Amino acid sequence: MVDVRGILPHRYPFLLVDAFVSQDGDDFECLKNVSHNEPFFVGHFPTEPVMPGVLVIEALAQAAAVGLAVREGRQGEPGVGYLTGVDGARFRRKVVPGDQLRLTGTIVLFRRGLCKVDARALVGAEVVAEAQLSFMYAR
């Protein structure tokens, strides 16, 4: 079992990965259960709660850090991934309370702490957001 909190430095209310699901080579999957109690729903938007797209991207970045740590055998070794780029971001549909985000991706580059990931957030089989994320992974 992978301990997400042992990998990511984030804590409530900014820990946006609930569970690690799988790792297969460069491909990974994590989950985020979007509940009615998320603090951002208080103001975004009170009459029609929608998860902000930037937080969907943040959840993907956190999932990428988990996927990279598992792939590299660095579980239990906290590190920090600093997001350095978001390319080709597309948002396909709203993420609302009750959705379960499947945070998936493929690590396309990891060299000397530099990482690029093709990332997708899905609800069921439907893609809700996608982007290529770049970050610097530091210890």
Query: What positions carry a catalytic annotation?
Result: 44
The candidate with the shortest Cα–Cα distance to 106, out of 84, 133, 73, is 133
The candidate with the shortest Cα–Cα distance to 17, out of 59, 74, 69, is 59
Show the tokens assigned to 24. 């297969």
Q: Tell me how far apart the alpha carbons of residues 120 and 131 are, in angstroms, rounded to a whole number.
A: 7
